[in-house]
Amino acid sequence: MNKFTMTINGQQSQSTQYVDVINPATGQAFAQCQQGNVDDLNQAVASAKSAFNAWSQTSSAERKAKMLALAAALEANMPELMALVTQETGKPMGGLNNVGSGMEVGGSIAWTQMTAELELAVDVVQDNKDARIEVHRKPLGVVGSITPWNWPLMIAIWHIIPALRTGNTVVIKPSELTPLSTLRFVELANEILPAGVLNVVTGEGDVGHALTTHKDVSKIIFTGSTQTGKNIMSASSCNLKRLTLELGGNDAGIVLPDVDVKATAKQLFAACFHNNGQTCAALKRLYVHASIYEEVCQEMAQLAKQVSVGNGLDEGVELGPIQNAKQLQIVVDLAADAKACGGRFLAGGNKIAGEGYFFEPTIVADLTDGCRLVDEEPFGPIVPIIKFSDVDAVIAKANENDAGLGGSIWSADVVKATELAKRMECGSVWINTHGAIQPNAPFGGIKQSGFGVEFGLYGLEEYTSIQTLRIPK
Contact between 135 and 85 under an 8 Å Cβ cutoff? The reply is no
Q: Which of 33, 280, 297, 426 is catalytic?
A: 280
- Name the residue type at position 227: Q
Helix (H, G, I), strand (E, B) or coil at 394: helix
Asked whether the beta carbons of 40 and 7 are under 8 A apart, the reply is: no
The verdict on whether 280 is a catalytic residue reads yes
Spatial separation of the C-alpha atoms in residues 11 and 19, rounded to whole Å:
20
Residue 254 pairs in a beta bridge with 287, 409
246 is catalytic: yes
Residues in contact with 441: Cβ distance below 8 Å, sequence separation at least 6, in sequence order:
455, 456
**Distance of alpha carbon 244 from alpha carbon 223, whole angstroms:** 8
15 CB-near residues (< 8 Å, 6+ apart): 5, 6, 34, 35, 36, 40
Find all residues with CB under 8 Å of 353, minimum gap 6, and list them: none
**Closest C-alpha among 405, 410, 436, 437 to residue 421:** 410
Inter-residue contact 471 to 132 (CB < 8 Å):
yes
Q: Which residues contact 393 (CB under 8 A, 6 or more apart)?
A: none
Residue type (1 letter), 137: R
Strands 406-410 vs 251-255: parallel, antiparallel or unpaired: parallel
* Cα 11 from Cα 9, distance rounded (Å): 6
* Catalytic-role residue among 176, 187, 246, 360: 246
Q: Which residues pair with 430 in a beta bridge?
A: 408
Residues designated as active site: 246, 280
